[in-house]
Structures are given as C-alpha cells and as structure tokens.
Structure 1
Amino acid sequence: MTTRKERNFNYILLNLASFVLILFFFIWFSVDYYRNWGVELETYLKSFSESLSYPAWTYDNRVIEQLVKVMVKKKDITFVSVYDDKGNKIITSTKEFSPNLFDQIFGTKHFTKTYNLNYADTFVGKVTFGYVDREPREFLQVIGLVLASLYMVIFLLISNLKKNQRLAAMVKELNDMNSELELAFNELEEAQNKVINSEKMAALGKLMVNIAHDVNTPAGIIYSSLTEQQNRLNSVREKFQSDELSEKDFLDCLNTITQLTEIMLRNSRRITELVQSLKRVAMNEMTQTYSEVSIKSLVDDVLNALHPKLRKTKVEIVTEISDDLVVRTMPGAIAQILMNLIDNAIVHAFEYDNPGKINIKFEKIKNKNEKEYLVLVFSDNGKGMEPEVQKRAFEPFYTTEPNTGTGLGLSIVYNLVVEILGGEIELESAVGKGTTFKIRIPVDK
C-alpha cells in the first residue's frame, strides 16, 4: 500500500511527464509547420514568378501591373518589385506593414526573395518579393494556447484524482478546452481554404504560361511568312521599276503570297482559338455562378487550354459527350474538376512519360423522383492506386509525390463536387488496372 508521500511523488512525476510530452510535441509541430509554410509560400512565389516571365519578355507592363496587384493582396506579402533584364525597375507594389505589439513580442520577421525571370531559356528580368511570417506565428500562438490549456486540464485531472469533490471543476475546464479546440479547428479550416485558393491561382498562372509557350509556334510561323512575303514584294517592285518584271515572275509572286497568306490565316486562327479557350476557362475559374453551359464546348475549352501540357506527354484523351448536352451548373467548378483530374492522371497514373489513355464521359440522367443529374465518368488505364492510397486520396496535403505534388488536387475536386455543387464522388482503382472517378452532380433548374 502506497503512502501519501509516494502518491504525491507519483502525481508530480505524471505532471512532469505530461508537460515534457506536450512541450516536445509543440516544438516538433512548430518546426514542421513553419518549414511547410515556407515551402508552400516559396512554391507559390516561384509559380507566380513563372507567370511573369512572358509579360516581362514582351514588355507588357499592363499585364505585369495586374499580376503584381493580385500578388500583393496575399496576406503575407508586403511588396513586389519587378525589374527588366537590365536591372531597371518596371513596377513596385507595396502594402503597408506596421508591426504591432504581437510582432514585437513574438519576433515577426521580414524576408525578401528574388527570382530570375526566364522565358525560352532567356533571362528577361527578375522579381523581388517582400513578406513577413506573421501568419504562421499567429497560428502557432493559437496552438500553443491550446496545448497549454490541454496541459492545464491534465494537471487538473491528476489533481482531482485526490479530491473527488472537485470533479465539477474538472468538467468545466474540459468544456473550456473543447471551446478553444473548436476555435483552433475553425482557424485551421480557414487556413486550409486559403491554401487551396492560392493553389488554384498558381495553377491558373501556370496555365497562362503554358498557353504563352504554345502561341509562340504559330506566331513564329506568321512572322516568317510575313518576312518572306515582304522579300518577294520587294523583289517584284525592283523588277517592275527596272522594267525587268515578266509575267511569270508576277504570277509566281501572286502564288507565293496566296500560299503565305493562307499559312498566316491558319496560324492566326490557331492563336485566336487558344486565347479564346484560355479566356473562357479563366473567366469560369474566377466566377462561381450558375449558368446554362454546353458541356462539350466546356470540355473542348479545357482540353485546348491544357494542350501545351498534354502535347508533352504520351497520353491520349478520348471524350464521349453529346453535342446537345446542355445543363445549368457552375461551369467554373466543372472546368476546375476536369483540369485537376487530368493533371492528377498525368502525374500519378502515367508518371509524365508513360503512354496511356484517358476517357471522359458526360451524360445527364434522372433518378426515380425525376431529379436530373450530370454524371461524369473519368477513367484512365494507368498504374492504379494501392488500397491505402485510395483511402486517403481526398485528404488535403496527402500526396505520393512529396517532391513535386502539393496534395491538394483531389482535395479540391472533392470540395468542389461535395461542398460547392452538392454532388457525390466515387473512386475505384486497382493496381495495374487504372483508376475511375464517378461524379454525380444535381442539375440546377
């Protein structure tokens, strides 16, 4: 039978062990969270820098100014400065940052990062970002308060083992802890939504860069054709002025100019189609409103916008969509779902370089209550998923490619289908036999 002194000693040891464990967890969690925050922010800054390369190359200051204004609105960013290839400042956008009492107590730091802007292996300038780490420090402060509250509850629980009459006080402390945990959870959820929105903006920026690369080829053909056309016209003019122009020379010139004009018209139409597809996809991304939409046209726009990325792979995409399939839904959400599924398949199912096929099928069905649904069946014949990967596929930040992926692609798909569109999503996969996503979305009337 233990004495009162031994029991008190055991209580002290238990309290000390609890304190050490919670302190260790807080230190580990703080270091890991701060590092991940830095990695995610740097990834976002790099992605945004890539989106500035083409405007900097073309000296399109209006586009640069618009992109910089969007970037400086991010909570952690304090300023963005863009320079040309000669070091001359093109634009600077600054957001006022005034250190408050929190910053002074917890040592909020100010950082700068500079990235070179390269387009087509050519240095076209650089961009400098200024940012602070107030947000992760605020978040870790909340976690620290929660863990401190947790330790206090444990301390009270151990103390109440000696005095049962203080049980009511312990319950009250537990209720207080639950309230603080709920508050922390809400803040975590809000932070996750911000990261998801940042990921969507970064994806849109990458899409713009890819389209810009794809426009280069027809633009170069048009330039070459114009140059040849000018040379031929100059040659004919010189012969005409010197009375050496023959009928054959004139007819050859007409035929050549006709051919070159057809080439330029064909490539101009290609550029127009690419730009229009990007414009429609971008507008859909930015506006989450319901409207009547042709699903086939929407899918064609998405595939056109992704063409620069798809043509670098060995993946074939086959669609099965009726020309008259028109529904009232959120076209932006549907486009985002499709883009993320295609990107996920390229990266994970085929690992970029492997050949394969993606099948996209849309149809409209009715249930027993005559309620209409838009059904998407998205399947690939890639490497498939392990059972454990399937279970966690829709978890935020879960990825099997930590060096290249953010783990947000399928999480965004799930959020759009279930939370935004009120639909359902099913995942079927087998190792070596591919993966199928079945999505059912209620049609708005």
Structure 2
Amino acid sequence: MIARLRKAFLAQLIPLIVGFVVLAAIVVGLTGLIEAQRHDNERIRLAFEFQRQVITLQSLIQDAETSQRGYLLTGEGSYLDLYRAARNALPKALEEVRAAAAGNAGRRAQVDALSAAISDKLGEIAESISLYDQNNASSAIALVRSNQGKLLMDRIRTIIIDIRRDESAILQQRLANSERMNEWMRLYSVVAALAVLSLGVFGVLSARRRLEDVAVVQDQLSRNNKALQKEIATRELAEAQVRQMQKMEAIGQLTGGIAHDFNNMLAVIMSALNLMQRKLKRGESDIQPFVDAAVDATTRAANLTSRLLAFSRQQPLSPKVIDANRLVTGMSELLRRTLGEPIQIETVLAGGLWLTFVDVSQLENALLNLAVNGRDAMPEGGKLTIETANCCLDERYAEEHMDVPAGQYVLIAISDTGTGMAPEVAEKAVEPFYTTKGAKGTGLGLSQVFGFVKQSGGHLKIYSEPGQGTAVKIYLPRYFGDDRPIPQSRPARGAHPPSELILVVEDDRLVRAGTVASLRELGYRVLEAEDADDALRLLAESGEVALLLTDLIMPGTHGRKLASVAREQRPELKVLFTTGFTRNAVVHNGVLDHDVDFIHKPFSIDQLAAKIREVLDR
C-alpha cells in the first residue's frame, strides 16, 4: 500500500514541478520587465530634468538681458540686481547641464556651443554696463543698437531650440518603449494568473485523489498502530523489570561493600576490646597495640563514612575562593613524599588562571586520591603530570554531557603513563566499591572524587587507553566575585593550658560521656545537658560558659533553635554544632551557612581540640 502511494505521489509530482518551473519563469520575466521599466522611467526622468535645466539657462540669460536694458534706459541701479543674480547662478546651471550631457557626444557639443554663446552674451552685457558706468551712455546705447546682443541672444535661443527638439524626440522614443513594457507586463500578468489558476485546479484534484488513498492507508496504519502499542507496552514492562533488577543489583553491591568493609573494621575493634578486657583482668597493662588497632579501625570507619557521603553528595562543604595554581604548588612536596622516588612529578600551571570557589580540604583529598591511583597504575615507575588551565565548555559539549552546564571552568588534570583502563573499566571507575586493586582498595577513591566534584557544581571526565595511561580532568566552576583569594588563616593557639567553661548538649548518653571526657582530658571545664531545656537552665545559672557544643538533631528543640535562644540571652556566646547527619539546618544545597561552625561525627580528640580552639580564639 505504501509503495502504491509513493508511485502515485511521484506521478503527481511531475506536473507540479513543471507548473512551478513555469511560474518561476513568469516571475523571472516579470522581474526583468519591471527592472527594464524602472530603467526607462529613470531615463525619462533624466530627460525631463535636462530640459528643465536648459530652460533655466535660457531664463537666466533673458533675466540678465532684461536687467541690462532697464538699467541703460533708466539709470536705476536696482535694475542690475537681476543681472547680478543671473550672472552668479549661470556657472552652476551650466555645470549641471554639462554633467547631464556627459554621456552623449552630440549633446556635449551643443552644450559647449551654448556655453560659448552665453559667455559672449554676458561679455556684451558687461561691456555696455561698464560704458554706462563711465558716463558714456551714448556708446553704451550704440553698442546695444549695433544688434550684436540680439544676434548673440538669437544664437542662444537657436541652440536651446535644437537641444529641446532632440530631447523631445528621444523622450518620445523612451515613452513608446515604456508603453511596450507595460503591454508585456499586462500579458505576463494574465499568463501568471492563468498558470496559478491551473495549478490550483490541479492541486485540488490531486489532493482529492490523495485523500482517498490516505483514507485507505490510515485504516491500515490504525490497525498496525494498535498492534505496535501492545508491543511497546510489553517492552516497557520488560524494561521496567530490568531497571528494577539493575537497581536492586546496584543496591546489593553497595550494601555488600559497606557491610564487608564495616565488618572488617568492627572485627578489629571487637578483637582489640576483647583482648584488652582479658589483659586488664589479668592485671596486665601492655594494651597499647590493641588501643592503636581499635583507633585505626575507627578512623578507617569514619573515613569510609566520609567517602560514602562524598559519593552521595551529602557531605557538608565549606568552600573558599582559591587559586588552584597555589594549591597544586603547595601539594607538590606532599605528593613527592607520598608517591615515592620512582614516580616523576611534573606540574604545568597556566598563567592568569581563574579563581574557583571550592572546599580546599576536599579538593586536596581528591588530588591526593587521583595521584595515588596514578602511582598504583605505574608499578615500575613513570611520570605523573598535574596541569591547570582556563577552560570553556560550550553548548555542544553540554548537550553531549547532560550533567554539566555550559560555561567557564578551571581545569585541573592529573595524567599518568601507567597501564590505562579498557573502556568498560573506565565506565565503572566511579562506581562505589568497584576497584581494580584487589584487596588493596575499597573502590571508594574515584567515587568520592566524583561526588565531591558534582556537589561543587563541576564535572569529571576520564580519558584512558590501555597501555598508554590515564588522564582524569576535574572542571570546577569559575568564580566571578572578588579577584583576591580568601587567605586561609589558622587560629592562634593559646600559650597556656585551656581553662574555658564549655557546655555540652547531647541526647545520647554514651556520646555525651565520651565528648565530656575528651574535653576534660584537654583541660577544659565542662557542663553537660541532655536536652535544650536543661542547657538553657545551666546557661542561666552560670555566666562563665564560653562555648556551647550542641548536637543538631535532638528530641524536642533542635540544636539550631537552642543556639538562637541562647544567643538572645548571651550574644557573645560561641556555638559549635555537631551531628552525624548532613541534611539539616546548617547545610543548604550541600554548603555550610557562612555563620556556622561545625564538626562532623565521629571526630577524634585531636580534631575536637583543633576545632574548639579555632572557634574560641576567633
């Protein structure tokens, strides 16, 4: 059926093409005729203009002669005004006539003769006026009566008559040509109207035939469409089931990886605690190795949680305006110590690099992760290159990579000369718990970098060739604010042991006990409360509290509201928030509020000490 429609359509297409060709020829012909008529009309206008200029010349020379005779007869100087005006206007009028006659040799000869006659006539008029002005009126009158002036004026009139007669003949010829053009245009218009009418009739008849064929085909298509919809519904159901299976597989992989790593760490902690219990019961005190093992496992668990939060883009960021060149330069020594001597490190820093707004510690951690990955890909040694550049991602790139908007970015690229990755490996490189390092890696390094870059509004791209090496490019959005990076100041540490009073608010009894013990170990005086009401009562009773260390998520009044009420009573009170959650009152779009101090659980005693001093010494 479709083939039959196609043949019918082609058969009807040929007359249409012929008709449109005819119409196009008519339109082209009409356009040419209109252009020719416009040209003839312009020539007619110029002919009329030339005649007007010649008549103006005749009028001016007659004015000059009339002015001369009136002056000679009356002696009144006012009669010469018309002569002077004509004498001043004649040169310009002659130039206009000469310019109009430039394209015709015969006309130029006539204009030259006319110009000479006018010059002679002006000379005769000027001579008679001069004689009169010298009190020689009789000589002036005699010059006029000599008929010299009349002969010159007759000569001027004769030349002008000849010019006008010739121009009239040319003008009549051009008018006749214009009339012929009008006849042709009328004929073309009639032919065009007939052609359009014929095409219209043919189009209506063809459309009617096509509608009949389309009605037949439409019925067939309707039946086919119903069958296709059933097939699509079946396929969509199957695809939904496959997506659900893939989703469950990804969740299973993620939870399996988390369970495996946490079980390993909990096994270390449990073993260390059990051994410490046995040794303490026997009165033995050599438990430091087990303490170190438990602390190390706890630190690994905290790092694992941090990496998971980074991958899920839920870690609280504290971005600053930085110069990436300065950051890379500052990390060079750390990277050399970490990577070892077999790895040659080269930095290529762009001049005039734009600033970017990013969390410094997370960016340093990302670069260190990528550098370590590069080292592991070069077991026999090799070269690691860190480059920076200004980069613009255009609309075409953004269309190909839907997760990144077009714009200006600061590029940091880490390239190695290692073993590289196959395409299927590179595609999975940022998946959590996917690793090519066997038992050495958790598979969270690249996923953490990916999550941090995305949370910062940037883009990560991996280029790799097996046997050639790998390049990981980090694109961070350009900062358009103040061109000066914010200095990273360090809080001053007191020279004497701490003595401030800190109020700890925590609803979990064990966590509160651990935090209080840590603060007392650091030398601080501590008050503790399990909820907001208890905390406000202690604040009212003690005016020495320098810092409120409060959990954010608590039953009843949450930590942010508690801090707000406390500061209404004590505006100078310092506040430090802590929580194991991230989607809360201190984080908006993954970024900490500018006026918030925050420490994430779990924290070590050293991290707590540094953060407490940073807040108190500010």
Shorter-chain TM band = 0.3 to 0.5
Higher RCO by CA contacts (8 Å cutoff, separation 6 or greater): 1
- TM-score for both structures, normalised by structure 1: 0.39
- TM-score for both structures, normalised by structure 2: 0.29
